[in-house]
Amino acid sequence: MCITLSLSSKPCIGVCNGSLQSPKSMVTTARTEVITAPKRPNTFPGLTKQGISDIDLRVQEVVRRQSWTNSLVGEVNCRKPRFEPMFIDDAYDKCRNICAEYAKTFYLGTLLMTKERQKAIWAIYVWCRRTDELVDGLNAEYMSPAVLERWEERLQDIFEGRPYDMLDAALSDTVCNFPLDTKPFRDMIEGMRMDTRKSRYESFQELYLYCYYVAGTVGLMSVPVMGIAPESSASAYTIYNAALYLGIGNQLTNILRDVGEDALRGRVYLPQDELAQFGLTDKDVFSRKVTDAWRDFMKEQIIRARSFFNLAEEGASQLDKDSRWPVWSSLMLYRKILDAIEDNDYDNLTKRAYVGRTKKLLTLPLAYTRALSKPSLYLR
């Protein structure tokens, strides 16, 4: 499922001076319910049926391709590069160190996974992080369409066994050990393109698609590595959908947490039509004043994000038992970020909600307990 990528400001390992540098499906009613999540009737219009269909088709394409590949383990046409054992071990060690430094809680959760799964998840994490840095890293000012085109070419090289650097080599080895398809990776790059073109989202339909590109894709990349529990009776497609929902819930939570910071960059990742329903505009966001209208608006946005986490829960329990802990840790900690926004009286304009170290550490044993639960016979 979704790796929780804490993609905040960090040292550049992606782009410098303009060049790349080394260093059974969830039912439709449930999906509609989430997209129109608020409890008050008619508060948000959500998506039209056509909108749901358009986005769902995009999602289903990835799920279908990944599930199809997943059924052909051992038959994947992969050009596995011939690395010296010491070199590839060093490559994975670098990925591990990056994950441990920038995603400490998630990293701890991966330690229960098998050695091969650990290395693969670390490699995927690092690729996703580097991809995000192209747009949001310290050298984002050098971003151009050509940079993303070159990054996508490098992705193809990775899948064809021609890695550019050591970190690429770790992912190149991973895609030959697990049934990964290029589509989720390419879609994440498309999300970066969207970030360079858009700073406003007219409706949740647009925002949902963005969240799929930049975060739902991580879930698709992760399911084949984390594995599905042998005793699970849920279809692979259902579990992939749950992974998507966790990714989207995480991204919505990131957006709500970072409203003030994004506003300083001239970005508003909130549905414009929904702001208008509460008598709000971009000016209210930029004014950084928390009003009753803002609080009411945020309450509804939080309800929606939590709804995605609710849909993701059952999928987390369908994963292989050794892989559930980091997923449950992600799910529970991101819910606590929403709690922190509430504790701040919905002031995400001048304050950044966060979960303190003590709370994080106390969450880990709770997540571990949830990870021990056996897969349900059916998904609610």
Q: Is the pLDDT of residue 44 over 60?
A: no
Question: 89 is written with which tokens?
Answer: 């071990």
Residue 380 has pLDDT above 90, yes or no: no
Helix, strand, coil % over all residues of the chain, rounded to 5: 65, 0, 30
Q: Which residue in the block uniquely carries the two structure tokens 């840790």?
A: 329
Residue 39 — very low, low, confident or very high, per pLDDT cuts 50/70/90?
very low
pLDDT digits (tens, 9 = 90+) for 48-88: 544 455 556 766 776 667 665 444 444 444 666 778 889 99
Bigger pLDDT: 314 vs 71: 314
pLDDT in tens, 350-365: 999 999 989 988 998 9
Which pLDDT score is estimated for 123?
A: 97
Cα–Cα distance measured from residue 289 to residue 287, given in angstroms and rounded to the nearest whole number: 5
Q: What gap in Å lies between CA 97 and CA 6, rounded to an integer? A: 15
The structure tokens listed for 186 are 């390419």
pLDDT tens string 141-165: 778 889 999 999 999 999 999 999 9
Task: Give, in order, the Cα–Cα distances in Å from 310 to each of 242, 260, 327.
Answer: 9, 26, 13
CATH homologous superfamily of 50-67+78-372: Farnesyl Diphosphate Synthase (1.10.600.10)
Q: What pLDDT is attached to residue 66?
A: 64
pLDDT digits (tens, 9 = 90+) for 173-222: 999 999 899 999 999 999 999 998 999 999 998 999 999 999 999 999 99
Q: Could you give the C-alpha distances from 177 to 18, 76, 146, 152, 343, in angstroms and in order?
A: 33, 9, 30, 21, 44
Mean pLDDT, rounded, for 310-335: 92
Q: Per-residue confidence at 272, pLDDT binned at 50, 70, 90?
A: very high
pLDDT value at position 99?
A: 95
Q: What is the mean pLDDT of residues 13-27?
A: 38
Q: Which residues contact 184 (CB under 8 A, 6 or more apart)?
A: 62, 66, 217, 218, 220, 221
Task: Identify the pLDDT of residue 175.
Answer: 93
Largest CA distance in the chain: 62
Write the pLDDT tens digit of every residue in 91-122: 999 999 999 999 888 888 898 899 999 999 99
Q: How many CB atoms lie within 10 A of CB 196?
A: 15
CA–CA dist 100, 231 (Å, integer): 31
**What confidence score (pLDDT) does residue 378 get?**
46
What are the sequence ranges of the domains in the chain?
50-67+78-372
Mean pLDDT, the chain, whole residue set: 82
| Rounded mean pLDDT, 273-296 | 97
Percent of the chain at pLDDT > 90 equals 58
Give the pLDDT of residue 22: 39
